[in-house]
Amino acid sequence: STPVAVACGIQHAARLGVVIKGGSYLEILAKIKCLAMDKTGTLTEGHFRVSEVVPVGETEGLQQILYWLTSVESRSSHPMAAALVTYASLQDVVPSKSVTDFQIIEGEGVSAVVDGHLVEIGNARLASRLGWNNTAITKLKNQTGTVGWLGKDHQLLAVFSLEDHVREEAAEAVSSLKRMKVQIHMLTGDNHETAQSVQRKLGGVTVHAGLLPQDKVRIIQELKENHGMTGMIGDGINDAPALAAADVGFAMGLAGSAVAMETSDVFLMTDDLRKLSMVASLGRRVRTKVI
């Protein structure tokens, strides 16, 4: 494509609210074969609502459990954390003033020392590593959402579930891309059940669940080798390596992390997934100089 066409293309994208950081990405957009999409906050809104918190065993009551939960989650910036903190505060439970050693357990959850007790919160991977009873989640009425485990001093205390919604425009965005013969892959650290419930709402999306950040990178590399030009769209800090591994990395929305914004090659200024097929087709038009 000519420099003039490229300049026009970038300008046109800007009018759509899409920042393309260089003409070479327009070329890649024109040839894109696969798009890997993060689930939480990308295909979904990333605004969680707590469905249930259920104590396991008789050791501690719900109020006390919410106290451990909110004390740790008030330190976390994961999209699930805000919902859990709000849930506790609505039941008049406020976080402890003594929270130390907050840690992110990669791909599993979070932990901290609260009033001298080790509190660990996370997913099935964390639960199975700590030898917590995996069947405890059958106590939850709704297991299609994102589920979590909470323990104190290595002892399982509660299970909980949260609900997040698939973005309104996600199905339309996916079908437009598929019409352009772009394969769609969902990448998530969340469990299979939740990923599949999102998949059912989208149609024709390949699911990769229970992933660590390095698994996301590996899948991107495999897609590149097996199918050609591969894009990745994500919002989380832990998506940065996958964004960098892709031929073109997309980040979305001003709510996205600064890291993802910097690591991305194409930045969608609004949270509208339909912009993806718009810029892909723009790339094709620039390539054939019909802009």
Site string for ligand ADP, 145-174 (x = CB under 6 A): ---x--------------------------
**Contact call for residues 28 and 283 (beta carbons, < 8 A):** yes
Q: How many CB atoms lie within 10 A of CB 101?
A: 10
| Least gap, CB of 43 to Mg ion (angstroms) | 11
Note if 38 is an active site residue: yes
Six token digits for residue 153: 């001093």
Nearer to ligand ADP, 122 or 231 (CB): 122
Nearest to 287 by CA among 81, 77, 9: 9
Check residue 266 for interaction with ligand ADP (CB under 6 A).
no
From the candidates 38, 190, 235, 239, give the one annotated as an active-site residue: 38
Q: Within the chain, what is the greatest distance between any pair of CA atoms?
A: 71
Q: Using CB distances below 5 to 8 A depending on partner kind, what does residue 123 bind out of Mg ion, ligand ADP, none?
A: ligand ADP
Coil, helix or strand at residue 27: helix
Nearer to ligand ADP, 252 or 282 (CB): 252
Nearer to ligand ADP, 110 or 266 (CB): 110
Region 230-249 residues binding Mg ion, contact defined as CB under 5 A: 236
Which parts of the chain are beta strand (E)?
Answer: 18-20, 34-38, 49-55, 99-105, 109-114, 117-122, 146-152, 155-163, 183-187, 206-208, 230-234, 248-252, 266-268
Query: Among residues 73, 247, 265, 272, which is the contact residue for ligand ADP, using CB under 6 A?
Result: 73
Of the candidate spans 51-59, 174-182, 185-193, 253-261, the one that interacts with ligand ADP by CB under 6 A turns out to be 185-193
Annotated catalytic residues are 38
